[in-house]
Structure 1
Amino acid sequence: MRRILAALAAFSLTVLSSPADEALQKFVYEKAEMGLPFRISMYAKDEATAKAAAEAAFDRVAVLNSILSDYDSDSELSRLSQTSGQGKAVPVSTDLWRVLERAQQYAVRSDGAFDVTVGPLVNLWRRARHKQELPTPELIAEMKARVGYKNLRLDPEHHTAELLVPEMRLDLGAIAKNYAVDEAVAVLKQRGITRVLVGGSGDMTAGDAPPDQPGWRIEVAPLDVPGAPPPQIIYLKNRSIATSGDMFQRVEIGGKRYSHIVDPRTGIGLTDHSLVTVVASDCMAANGLTTTISVLGPERGLKFVEDTPGAAAHVVRMPDDKIQFVESSRWKDVPKAAP
């Protein structure tokens, strides 16, 4: 999913550097992984060190794609989906287990607003965007019968997963890329590079701040309508950020916008024109929360954020003709540049 956050130019402060900081150089590497642009910005002592670390991080993302992709029919995730309804409890890898376990935690907490079994409905609405026509109620009902987080059974003792209903399809689009971002940062830190920012199509995880800066400078873009609040500039350090919305992936049919984000409970693409930005402890949490808020709506969604330790959310939406702007209580604590 394309995102709309971007790392901006360096912001200078009158802070003295240590000799170690002065020896660091900035390096930026970009590569397409998981069908998306991944970008690594880091400070390292030399190019050889930086390049080797970036290659290791990208290699880790490529491995995760072979596990978590719902496009690759031979991925571990796809092979698991192919066992749906067969009464098989399938042993899964540590990486797939971590993602599925987190997904189910959000599904239970949100009463199904977040649901990685939503794959059949996601595919249905992909076709709707391509054909520029709404799915029929009968087809929506047919796909809904294959969806439901309670039909994904995890066994924590044996690390197995079982899909209880035939023709289920898991879709980890809301968190797989974000897990990969976090894992790329972990690889870089293992190599001693801590001043790093990794982004996967805009969702980001930051390590330590760049030299002489309070954090990595990030723009939270505004809603794409006249009169929307201007972008905020925040500083990110040892935190993650993600944004969900319908600015780029949507379809308009009969004068009504339908988002790529599908409500698993109704089977319908969301019609609320909005941008939801979350800062959280890790990238998987950040994007899991943006999706949950998008589906639940701002009132219930922000309560969900308030109940998540350390998370903060910023929501701009235009449900009708009036712009609405809401934030969770902890958003005020996110470091920001002066307007």
Structure 2
Amino acid sequence: MPRLPNLKYPAVVLAREAMATRFELVLPGTETARLRAAGEEALDEIERIESALSLYRPDSEIARVNSLAARQPVKLSQPVFRLLQQARQLWQETRGAFDITIAPLARCWGFLGGAGALPSPAALAEARQIVGMDLVELDDGQGTVRFQRPGVMLDLGAIGKGYAIEMAVRQLGDCGIANALLHGGTSSVHGLGHPPDDSAWRVAIEAPAALAGGKALPLAVAPLVNEGLSVSAVWGKSFAAGGRTYGHILDPRSGQPADSALLAAVVYASDTEADALSTALLLDGKTDHDRLAGLRPGLKTLVLEKIGADGRPQLTTRGKMINFHPDA
């Protein structure tokens, strides 16, 4: 979805595989050794965060919570506990559209480590009984987490990548880096400062193939200056059944895949919050765009709804962040 610029200046470019995706870092400049050292520290920070948040590593903090928290309070490190507090606040502010207890539903739909499959009504009903942040008790004084019933699971996939990028960018700043571009896969990118030849990092959001006539055309371009861009879309991990396509982004309140919008994008200073809010916006942007866009000062948003009255997808935005493709 985001497409990165072609480089026309000297830069150090680093990459690292983490969180089941490829992170790439662009550091403009000619001080190769200093830039490389700073960049490696930033990518190391992403790996450290993955080791704490991964659902699939048995020794991670989140795996330990999922294993024990239904039976006893589980003490967490301060950074992870603060992230859970932030996730709880975002759950409240988005009225449940963003919810880190989504894992039982993702497993029910076959997306937890799989390609997806239709669940039975009984299995879906059972999964819905153990989803909801109201089933998670955070003891702010003790720094512990406990589940109210067995089967509850945390999955920070809708916030973890943004958090990792935000912490890596902070690490770059601690190393004296003023300008850089860091992206994680196709959904999250942060522009620190600006490139040598422009006033902002200009990142393209790719248009759906049907809207672009099968061509690789940008839906919009987001200029980033000390901001992150997060894009959530219904395509990507999905499967077809009965003439319908089911995507991996699920509504934790209904248990059903997102179906009111094709794509949502958020630009904000906090990559963590942009990541979470783009998920909420994909689910509720068609009916609740104004309220969600007003949750933070300076938040900039885009929603591509499925079909308008003229039979074409409808694009709506809040906040001036985008140069639009003329055919969008």
With normalisation by structure 1, the TM-score equals 0.88
Partners of 2:110 and 2:117 within 8 A in 1 = no
Q: Does residue 268 of the first structure (1) align with residue 256 of the second (2)?
A: yes
2:177 alignment partner in structure 1:
193
1:5 alignment partner in structure 2:
2
Give 5+ residue unaligned stretches, structure 1: 12-23
Partners of 1:84 and 1:167 within 8 A in 2 = no
Q: Does residue 53 of the first structure (1) align with residue 38 of the second (2)?
A: yes
- 1:234 Cα shift? 2.6
Give 5+ residue unaligned stretches, structure 2: none
Q: CA distance change for structure 1 residues 182 and 119 in 2, over 3 Å: closer, same or farther?
A: same
Q: Distance in 1 between matches of 2:139 and 2:99?
A: 18
Q: CA distance change for structure 1 residues 252 and 273 in 2, over 3 Å: closer, same or farther?
A: farther
Q: CA distance change for structure 1 residues 192 and 296 in 2, over 3 Å: closer, same or farther?
A: same
- 1:245 Cα shift? 0.4
1:219 alignment partner in structure 2:
204
2:163 alignment partner in structure 1:
179
Q: Does residue 292 of the first structure (1) align with residue 280 of the second (2)?
A: yes
Q: CA distance change for structure 1 residues 267 and 57 in 2, over 3 Å: closer, same or farther?
A: same
Question: Where does 1:134-153 land on structure 2 (aligned, <5 Å)?
Answer: 134-153=118-137
Cα distance per residue 1:108-165 (max 9 Å; x no partner):
1122111101111112223599576410110001111111111111122222211211
Q: Distance in 2 between matches of 1:240 and 1:278?
A: 8
- Tell me which amino acid in the other structure corresponds to 2:184: G
1:323 alignment partner in structure 2:
313
With normalisation by structure 2, the TM-score equals 0.90
Q: CA distance change for structure 1 residues 26 and 79 in 2, over 3 Å: closer, same or farther?
A: same
Q: Distance in 1 between matches of 2:159 and 2:147?
A: 19
Q: Distance in 2 between matches of 1:180 and 1:5?
A: 18
- Give the root-mean-square deviation of aligned CA atoms: 2.3
Match of 2:245 among 246, 250, 257: 257
Match of 1:118 among 95, 99, 102: 102
Q: Does residue 101 of the first structure (1) align with residue 117 of the second (2)?
A: no
- Tell me which amino acid in the other structure corresponds to 1:83: L
Match of 1:234 among 189, 197, 222: 222
SS in 2 for 1:231: strand
- 1:70 Cα shift? 0.8
SS in 2 for 1:82: helix
Match of 2:14 among 29, 50, 53: 29
Cα distance per residue 1:24-59 (max 9 Å; x no partner):
941111111122100111124421112211211111
- 1:323 Cα shift? 1.3
SS in 2 for 1:275: strand
Cα distance per residue 1:298-339 (max 9 Å; x no partner):
2213421123221111111225853111111x1x2x264997
- Tell me which amino acid in the other structure corresponds to 2:164: A
Q: Distance in 1 between matches of 2:312 and 2:303?
A: 14
Q: Distance in 1 between matches of 2:109 and 2:204?
A: 30
Q: Does residue 77 of the first structure (1) align with residue 62 of the second (2)?
A: yes
Q: Does residue 209 of the first structure (1) align with residue 194 of the second (2)?
A: yes
Partners of 2:109 and 2:119 within 8 A in 1 = yes
- Tell me which amino acid in the other structure corresponds to 2:151: E
Partners of 1:28 and 1:41 within 8 A in 2 = yes
SS in 1 for 2:280: helix
Q: Determine what percentage of the aligned residue pairs are the same residue.
A: 28
Cα distance per residue 1:160-195 (max 9 Å; x no partner):
211211011101000111110111111111111110
- 1:94 Cα shift? 2.0
- Tell me which amino acid in the other structure corresponds to 2:2: L
Q: Does residue 92 of the first structure (1) align with residue 76 of the second (2)?
A: yes
Q: Distance in 2 between matches of 1:233 and 1:10?
A: 17
SS in 2 for 1:235: strand
SS in 2 for 1:153: strand
Matched positions, count: 320
SS in 1 for 2:230: strand
- 1:221 Cα shift? 1.4
SS in 2 for 1:117: coil
- Tell me which amino acid in the other structure corresponds to 1:305: A
Partners of 2:219 and 2:324 within 8 A in 1 = no
Q: Does residue 42 of the first structure (1) align with residue 27 of the second (2)?
A: yes
1:20 alignment partner in structure 2:
none
Q: Distance in 2 between matches of 1:49 and 1:129?
A: 38
Partners of 2:218 and 2:325 within 8 A in 1 = no
